[in-house]
């Protein structure tokens, strides 16, 4: 559904489906790790035509390919810490600047500094915050499995794959992310509270925040998000 348009000698990705549906908002998805940002962003991409940019996925790809960025990012990611701002900002800047139409930022910004940098790159229309209780997050993350090929996510109890260890969508192998073990999950939640939670206030102060309870079925949450778009 994505068409390419050559403008001033540069490739611009025009998301025609999104624009024709009026789905052309620039969205920041906020919420703690495990709140369902990735799952909802995937639905918004496949069903509504939004382009999804996930810094976590981009970083994991860099780690897998052992690029210089990947080599620098790996130790932070394995420990559940944030990758230094500059590395992530460079990564996202290029992506955002080549997009027209609606898109979702999943996992960016994660600090006030990143949010300020983003203000200088683009105008965000809405920040959707998925709200979930901490103990539920630990359960969700430690039972999460991710597809090595397409990054689709599953939960061993609530959203299991049809065949054990295999992705329903592409048949890829499912694995447990190295940062989804309990000790690292607790550290990621601490990092979230210290660094990312203040963004809820930041976007609220700009009149752009929408809070959505992140508990309930994936469909219910998706419907609640759709009413805000």
* Selected catalytic residue, list 12, 93, 177, 186: 177
CB of 4 to ligand AMP, least distance (A): 27
77 makes contact with ligand AMP (CB under 6 A): yes
Of positions 18, 41, 48, 59, contacts ligand AMP by CB under 6 A: 59
Whole-number minimum distance, CB 91 to ligand AMP, in Å?
9
DSSP the chain: -EEEEEETTEEEEEEHHHHHTT---EEEEE--TTSSHHHHHHHHHHHH--EEEEHHHHHHHHHHTT-HHHHHHHHHHHHTPPPPHHHHHHHHHHHHHTB-S-EEEES---SHHHHHHHHHH----EEEEEE--HHHHHHHHHTEEEETTT--EEETTTB--SSTTB-TTT-PBEE--GGGSHHHHHHHHHHIIIIITHHHHHHHHTT-EEEEE--S-HHHHHHHHHTT-
- Min. distance of Cβ 6 from ligand AMP in angstroms? 30
Whether 145 is a known active-site residue: answer: no
By CB under 6 A, the count of residues binding ligand AMP is 17
Q: Does 55 help bind ligand AMP (rule: CB under 6 A)?
A: yes
> Taking CB under 6 A as the criterion, which residues in 5-44 touch ligand AMP?
33
Among 145, 179, 185, 202, binds ligand AMP (CB under 6 A): 179
Could you confirm whether 188 is annotated as catalytic?
yes
Q: Is 140 a catalytic residue?
A: no
- Is 177 one of the catalytic residues? yes
Rule CB under 6 A: say whether 137 interacts with ligand AMP: no
Does 64 qualify as catalytic in the annotation? no
Catalytic positions, written as ranges: 37, 110, 144, 177, 188
């Amino acid at each position: 559904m994505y068409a390419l348009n050559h403008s001033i000698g540069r490739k611009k990705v025009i998301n025609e489906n999104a624009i024709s549906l009026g789905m052309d908002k620039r969205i920041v998805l906020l919420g703690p790790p495990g709140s369902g940002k990735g799952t909802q962003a995937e639905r918004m991409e496949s069903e509504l035509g939004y382009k999804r940019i996930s810094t976590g996925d981009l970083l994991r790809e860099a780690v897998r390919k052992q690029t210089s960025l990947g080599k620098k990012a790996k130790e932070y990611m394995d420990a559940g810490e944030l990758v230094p701002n500059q590395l992530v900002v460079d990564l996202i800047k290029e992506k955002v600047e080549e997009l027209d139409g609606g898109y979702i930022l999943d996992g960016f910004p994660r600090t006030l500094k990143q949010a300020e940098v983003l203000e200088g790159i683009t105008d965000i229309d809405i920040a959707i915050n998925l709200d979930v209780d901490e103990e539920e997050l630990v359960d969700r993350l430690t039972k999460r499995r991710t597809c090595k090929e397409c990054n689709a996510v599953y939960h061993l109890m609530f959203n299991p794959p049809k065949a054990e260890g295999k992705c329903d969508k592409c048949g890829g192998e499912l694995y447990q992310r190295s940062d989804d073990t309990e000790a690292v999950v607790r550290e990621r939640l601490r990092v979230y509270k210290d660094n990312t939670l203040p963004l809820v206030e930041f976007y609220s102060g700009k009149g752009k925040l929408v809070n959505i309870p992140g508990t309930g079925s994936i469909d219910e949450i998706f419907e609640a998000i759709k009413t805000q778009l």
